[in-house]
């Protein structure tokens, strides 16, 4: 999906088009719960992190327990995501980043690589397969030019705690070929003990028009290292929020064990869009990647060698009047993982504990009709057939025993209907089924056991919404109510040693209200040389456990762990003469339950973030100077809690008030 940046005017609105569920349609008419960020919005704040910009969107929460350790949740809790991205499907230029085990490494991507981020909220299995949370679509655009063009860019950013970020790139365009080579380096000592980060990244993507074919190539290599300070108690956070996890009577500290993660990944993918006829298009892709993963943890030292392949094909047909569109396709994912766990002796691998060989497969076959029944009515009907299987062998057992775990083929329907109330306002309704098999990190978690009886989550989402534009197209709004009944919810647990494992926790009710408003004042209205955009987003999420019993404890009716009841973000973007700008926002988050029993609560917090900058063209060079401040109110808060943590070590404190300063140069 590619979402174009919205342009507000006094009389007209530039058409904003999205490609949702494989169909191109105007945003205001799409029967989809969708949120998008343009390139300009992605660069609103710090150039090194997606967290502040993603968290502007209602119903979406991104956390960073320590630099490089991302978590992402869309309309759902973080019950099953101690780190990483699970229960969501990630694509980059329509090529899957999620693997067959249900995991995705979003922290491998560089913010400067992206031109747009679009998020489909709620179950999307009718097209995209497994996942009850939604779909994240990353975009790096390709542009062709009748005149040969080359552009070079470079930039440097400095920040608190010895943060240093460097980036350089080269873009080339001609009539039939476009390419982009980007290199970046990030080094950061971190706010807390044992939270340093080092990231080297190289990305190359290209597009070639060849007759009726458009070929696109995407590749990157990321060498990411970050230390993991671990959770601390409330008293420790209040006394010294820079502390890392401390030693106990039975377990060493994070510093002693050199707790950290090293991820070296190489990725390559190729896609082909073939215009068979004026009304028929065939699209195919294939990709391969390898990850070398190393994780010294408090209780063990894990090595993983993961190889992933993916392929897919799609055929799309349009009727002569383009009122009917039929899409059919298939996607196949395969993962092979060799995992070895050793003892951890002060950061060195010790005696072998386990060695495992795992193969995972996931496939999806789908079909969808996109039918404009009348100029005011739009109907989408989709259906997919899906299956996931995992074959597991513990190589350190004698004799070797192969364990197979697979889901039965699952049908996932989706129906969506929209009605155009006026030229600029549309109402819609959605009913969709989603399912999410346990990921590899859940059936084979850090305690080293294989949980073959863990069941897939599943449930129906029902939703109504209204969106569009008012006041001469200067006010954009998006309102939605949803009700998602989730069965077999997967919940994270910790054993006495602090290692995690997962259980099915019965059912949950996840219903809520989301609202987004954007208001634009432009210079054409006021005959001035400045523009200002104001926005606000609200998410009301009173999620509850419905049927959750753990031993003698009954948690029915408790608010779901890890979910704030209310979040509110509001901000202003002001620009003068297309040169000087100020972006400012406030992010207010309600208290967050930290245990299923709700006997520990993280306090509410309010983040104020500001960025200002100056741009000037000097000859063939554009100079961009910028600076900013994060956590202006200097609050002590945890941006990523370890829920249900043993020893009540829930908190991963984020940095107090901190600053950054940098510059970018672009040469044409």
Residue with tokens 């298009």: 281
Say whether domain 17-667 belongs to CATH 2.60.120.380: no
Mean pLDDT of 293-312: 96
In the structure, what pLDDT confidence band is assigned to residue 7 with cuts at 50, 70 and 90? very low
Alpha-carbon gap, residue 29 to 26, rounded angstroms: 5
CA distances from 215 to 67, 205, 269 (A): 36, 11, 11
What is the helix (H) or strand (E) element at residue 52, kind and residue range?
Answer: helix 51-54
pLDDT tens for residues 66-116? Answer: 898 888 889 876 666 656 677 889 999 999 999 998 889 999 999 999 999
Nearest-10 Cα torsion for 62, 142, 45, 623:
160
What is the helix (H) or strand (E) element at residue 649, kind and residue range?
Answer: none
pLDDT for the residue numbered 285: 98
Q: Is the pLDDT of residue 12 over 50?
A: no
Peptide bond into 497 cis (omega under 30): no
As a residue count, the chain comes to 668
Percent of the chain clearing pLDDT 90 (strictly above): 66
pLDDT for the residue numbered 84: 64
Q: What are phi and psi of 65, to 5 degrees?
A: -65, -35
Q: What is the DSSP letter of 232?
A: B
Report domain extents, the chain. Answer: 17-667
Q: Which residues, at least 6 apart from 125, have a Cβ–Cβ distance to it below 8 Å?
A: 131, 364, 384, 386, 410, 412, 414, 432, 433, 434, 435
Please measure the distance between the N-terminal and C-terminal CA atoms of the chain and give it in whole angstroms.
29
In the structure, what pLDDT confidence band is assigned to residue 623 with cuts at 50, 70 and 90? very high
CA distances from 392 to 243, 306, 438 (A): 38, 14, 14
Q: Is the pLDDT of residue 601 over 60?
A: yes
Work out the mean pLDDT of the chain and round it to a whole number: 90
In the structure, what pLDDT confidence band is assigned to residue 10 with cuts at 50, 70 and 90? very low
CA distances from 453 to 135, 391, 395, 408 (A): 27, 14, 20, 14
pLDDT for the residue numbered 169: 96
Q: Is the pLDDT of residue 643 over 80?
A: yes
Alpha-carbon gap, residue 640 to 652, rounded angstroms: 6
pLDDT for the residue numbered 217: 97
In the structure, what pLDDT confidence band is assigned to residue 16 with cuts at 50, 70 and 90? low
Pairing mode of beta strands 621-630, 605-618: antiparallel
Sheet bearing 88-92, strands edge to edge? 34-37, 116-121, 134-139, 88-92, 95-96
Q: Report residue 267 as tokens.
A: 């990725």
- Out of 142-151, 418-427, 632-641, 649-658, least confident range: 142-151
pLDDT tens for residues 484-541? Answer: 998 888 877 777 666 778 888 788 899 999 999 999 876 454 556 788 899 999 999 9
Determine the 3-state secondary structure of 102 from DSSP: coil
E strands, 88-176, are 88-92, 95-96, 103-104, 116-121, 134-139, 149-159, 163-173
In the structure, what pLDDT confidence band is assigned to residue 211 with cuts at 50, 70 and 90? very high
- pTM value is 0.93
Q: Is the pLDDT of residue 569 over 50?
A: yes
pLDDT tens for residues 414-444? Answer: 999 999 999 999 999 999 998 888 888 788 8
Mean pLDDT of 574-583: 91
Q: Report residue 305 as tokens.
A: 């060698």
């Amino acid at each position: 999906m590619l979402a174009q940046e919205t342009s507000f005017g006094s009389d007209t609105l530039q058409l904003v088009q999205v490609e949702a569920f494989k169909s191109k349609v105007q945003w205001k008419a799409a029967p989809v719960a969708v949120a998008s960020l343009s390139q300009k919005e992605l660069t609103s704040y710090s150039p090194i992190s997606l967290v502040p910009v993603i968290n502007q969107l209602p119903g979406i929460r991104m956390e960073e327990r320590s630099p490089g350790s991302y978590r992402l949740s869309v309309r759902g809790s973080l019950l099953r995501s101690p780190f990483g991205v699970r229960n969501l499907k990630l694509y980059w230029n329509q090529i899957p980043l999620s693997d067959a085990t249900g995991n995705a490494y979003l922290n491998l991507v560089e913010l400067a690589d992206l031109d747009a981020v679009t998020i489909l909220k709620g179950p999307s299995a009718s097209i995209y397969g497994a996942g009850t949370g939604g779909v994240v679509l990353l975009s790096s655009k390709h542009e062709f030019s009748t005149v040969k063009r080359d552009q070079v860019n470079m930039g440097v950013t400095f920040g608190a705690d010895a943060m240093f970020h460097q980036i350089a790139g080269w873009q080339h365009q001609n009539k039939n070929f476009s390419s982009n080579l980007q290199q970046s380096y990030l080094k950061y000592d971190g706010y807390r003990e044992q939270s340093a980060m080092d990231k080297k990244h190289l990305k190359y993507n290209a597009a070639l028009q060849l007759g009726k074919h458009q070929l696109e190539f995407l590749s990157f290599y990321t060498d990411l290292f970050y230390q993991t300070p671990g959770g601390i108690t409330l008293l420790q956070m209040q006394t010294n929020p820079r502390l890392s996890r401390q030693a106990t009577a039975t377990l060493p500290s994070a510093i002693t064990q050199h707790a950290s993660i090293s991820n070296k990944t190489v990725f390559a993918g190729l896609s082909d869009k073939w215009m068979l006829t004026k009304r028929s298009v065939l699209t195919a892709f294939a990709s391969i990647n390898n990850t070398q993963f190393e994780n010294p943890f408090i209780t063990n030292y894990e090595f993983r060698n993961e190889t992933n392949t993916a392929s897919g094909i799609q055929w799309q047909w349009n009727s002569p009047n383009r009122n009917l569109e039929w899409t059919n396709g298939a996607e196949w994912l395969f993962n092979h993982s060799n995992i070895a766990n050793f003892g951890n002796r002060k950061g060195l691998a010790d005696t072998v504990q386990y060695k495992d060989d795992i193969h995972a497969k996931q496939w999806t076959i789908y079909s969808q009709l996109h039918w404009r029944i009348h100029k005011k009515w739009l109907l989408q009907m989709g259906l997919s057939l899906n299956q996931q299987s995992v074959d597991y062998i513990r190589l350190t057992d004698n004799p070797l025993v192969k364990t197979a775990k697979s889901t039965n083929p699952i049908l996932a329907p989706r129906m969506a209907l929209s009605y155009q109330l006026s030229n600029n306002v549309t109402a819609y309704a959605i009913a969709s089924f989603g399912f999410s098999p346990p990921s590899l990190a859940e059936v084979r978690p850090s305690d080293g056991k294989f949980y073959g009886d863990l069941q897939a989550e599943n449930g129906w989402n029902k939703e109504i919404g209204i969106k569009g534009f008012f006041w001469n197209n200067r006010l954009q709004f998006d309102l939605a109510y949803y009700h998602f009944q989730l069965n077999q919810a997967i919940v994270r647990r910790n054993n006495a040693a602090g290692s995690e494992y997962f259980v099915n926790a019965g059912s949950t009710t996840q219903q809520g209200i989301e609202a987004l408003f954007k208001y634009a004042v432009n210079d054409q209205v006021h005959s001035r040389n400045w523009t200002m955009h104001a926005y606000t987003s609200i998410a009301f999420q009173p999620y509850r456990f419905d049927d959750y019993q753990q031993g003698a404890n009954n948690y029915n009716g408790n608010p779901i762990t890890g979910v704030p009841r209310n979040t509110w973000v509001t901000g202003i973007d002001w620009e003068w003469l297309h040169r000087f700008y100020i972006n400012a926002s406030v992010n207010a988050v309600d208290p967050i339950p930290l245990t299923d029993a709700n006997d520990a609560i993280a306090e509410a917090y309010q983040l104020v973030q500001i960025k200002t900058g100056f741009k000037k063209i000097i000859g063939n060079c554009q100079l961009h100077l910028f600076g900013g401040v994060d956590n202006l109110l200097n609050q002590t808060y945890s941006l990523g809690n370890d829920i249900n943590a043993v020893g009540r070590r829930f908190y991963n404190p984020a940095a107090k008030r901190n600053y950054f300063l940098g510059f970018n140069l672009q040469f044409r």
